Structure 1
Amino acid sequence: MTYPQDLREKTPLWDSNYPIRFYRNRSRMAKKDDTILNLHWHEHFEIIDMRAGKAQFHIDSRPYEASAGDLLFVPAGALHVGYNASDEDVEFVAVVFNASLLRMLHPDPVFERYMLPFLDGRAQLPAKLSASDELGAPFRRLIRESTDEFEQQAAAYELVIKHNFHLLFALLSRQFLPEKFVDKPAPLRHSESFKPLIQHIEAHLAEPLSVEQAARMVNLNPYHFCKTFKKLTGRTFVDFVNWLRINEADRLLRETEWTVTEIAERIGCGNANYFTKLYKKYKSYPPSEVRRRLLST
């Protein structure tokens, strides 16, 4: 279903390597039926972790009562809104993340069998897990540990969160993935053919490679190539190449004394201004900031 663009939430620019945010929402002095989550939708997944109070959330027009300890899973693209269900204060954590957080750089048949069905929409998670349901305990623990990591931001917190969410979806798959996906996993005929392409891209980052050229390398037409590539990696082909280039540029900024212009040429972005714009898009700060931080340590 397609919803109006004016209800689409404009997600803040985030680090493309760790596309996840934790929003702690508190409604003090809220009255019954007050809106605690405005009507919106976005292309990302969302998990609502109720911490206090009672609320009613509508997910794609279906109402769900929620109280402390309940978990709600909002599919990507689902319209959702929340209201206070009492005159008490309400608190919940909204975890918003993109499927690319969990995608594998190189196609993995186990990943494709157990996790990909949830990420590409072929399988749906339960809309709600109640606090009284013992099945929800390990999922709640992982989500709350990740929330603490995000808020405290100790060293390597990003890796801990990413690890927790891989484990979270592995356990969700074990519990809720329909047997038809386990018994008859999606065909993997394209996965192996994409591995040499990805290796080629990594080894020749500075060389231009069009969608048409890449499609020919895996014997697909451009339309099916783009569709399959995004399904396997969670990114468009152009986004994936740019992401690899910026990651390599980040390494060179930290480990070499090359100028920004030299690094831009090294990764195939001959125009230093375009490189700076692209780097800022993926990292949320300019390349000069990396050198400045290194000098200040």
Structure 2
Amino acid sequence: MWGEKMVHEEYMKLKENATHGDFMFPFVKYGEQNPCCYTCIPMHWHEEMEIVIIEEGVLEVSVDLNSFIAKEGDIILIMPYMLHSFKQYQHEKFVANTILFHMSIMNHLTTDACAVKYFTPFMDHKYEVPYVLTNRDKGYQGVHTCLREIMQTYDEKRECYELMIKAQLYKLFVQFFRNVFVKKKNEVIGKTDTIKNVKAVIDYIEQHYMEPITVDELAEIVNFSKHYFMCFFKKSIGMTCVNYLNEYRLNIATDLLANSDMTIMEIASKVGIGNVSYFNRVFKSKFEVTPKQYRRRVLEK
């Protein structure tokens, strides 16, 4: 997720420490515009459902290892626990609006027909859910209208807005179950195993990025040989494991550059890159500015 209204820390919060809304009302909306120098959110996942409307421009998206280009007007649907990433497409700018909510917001105190017939099967992955809805797809207009209503309610925050958003979410899911979701066919075992292995590696990187990490170390997590693991990761993620690790570390570094007084050397060490010259080189390769120039631009804004 990119967000003009979200600080860089929000971008980088992944599964372990992400907080969207709060436990009393686990719902949040972000109005988003890709900021200067920010080009990629690496593969990650979280417990919340995420829905993105592309308002302007183009965005490269990967959901559960399936990549596609989302264009103006498209609605991206990311189910809870799904691996996903976002990448700027050919240096094009974009504007998007995003809502994230934990499915617990839909829960009742007692099990009823809604839970048994719809939400329990949904959470048990019994439905096929498209990764993107375009204005040519069945159900698009109804879903789009519901999302606009939800976003407006959140922005206005009038009295009882929490009740209204909850009611509107139910209305949204009526559109989903009637016109978008389809009863799921048998899961492909091979792909399920691939996603499980990718998640294991990503989780390890999230927890240990500040330490030296070798390819052998990552391969051992999924019991692959080094060569097979390198091929597996590149095929699954679309970049080498070394590039992914650098992307992750550099995105953490942008947060520290924008929101701390740490020196460049301290930041490089903090994100697990011990050689400051190498840190400067890979940072400039990714963002086309040096860390020092990046910090200056952020402060000027």
Given the two structures, how large is their TM-score scaled by the length of structure 2? 0.52
Q: Does 1:27 align with 2:34?
A: yes
The CA deviation at 1:133 is 2.8
Which structure 2 residues correspond to residues 7-46 of structure 1 after superposition, within 5 A? 7-8=14-15, 10-12=17-19, 14-28=21-35, 34-35=39-40, 37-46=41-50
Helix, strand or coil at the partner of 2:19: coil
CA deviation vs aligned residue, 1:135-166 (integer Å, no higher than 9, x gap): 21110111121112112211111111111111
Partner of 1:48: 52
CA deviation vs aligned residue, 1:2-53 (integer Å, no higher than 9, x gap): xxxx95262226343421111122115679xx22x44321111111111111
CA contact (8 A) 1:115 1:169 kept: no
Aligned letter for 1:139? V
Alignment partner for residue 66 of structure 2, among 62, 68, 71?
62
Aligned letter for 1:19? P
CA contact (8 A) 1:27 1:90 kept: yes
CA contact (8 A) 1:22 1:95 kept: yes
Change (3 A) 1:177 1:41: closer
Partner of 2:106: 102
Partner of 1:81: 85
CA RMSD of aligned residues (A): 2.5
Helix, strand or coil at the partner of 2:141: helix
CA contact (8 A) 2:48 2:101 kept: yes
How far apart in 2 are the matches of 1:132 and 1:30?
A: 33
CA deviation vs aligned residue, 1:206-258 (integer Å, no higher than 9, x gap): xxxxxxxxxxxxxxxxxxxxxxxxxxxxxxxxxxxxxxxxxxxxxxxxxxxxx
CA contact (8 A) 2:126 2:183 kept: no
Helix, strand or coil at the partner of 1:168: helix
Change (3 A) 1:154 1:89: same
Partner of 1:256: none
Change (3 A) 1:79 1:9: farther
Alignment partner for residue 113 of structure 1, among 90, 108, 117?
117
Q: Which has the larger radius of gyration?
A: 1
Aligned residue pairs: how many? 173
Which structure 2 residues correspond to residues 1-297 of structure 1 after superposition, within 5 A? 7-8=14-15, 10-12=17-19, 14-28=21-35, 34-35=39-40, 37-133=41-137, 135-178=139-182
Ranges in structure 2 where 5+ consecutive residues have no aligned partner: 1-12, 186-301
CA contact (8 A) 1:45 1:97 kept: yes
Aligned letter for 1:158? E
Ranges in structure 1 where 5+ consecutive residues have no aligned partner: 1-5, 182-297
How far apart in 1 are the matches of 2:181 and 2:104?
A: 20
How far apart in 1 are the matches of 2:108 and 2:149?
A: 23
The CA deviation at 1:134 is 5.2
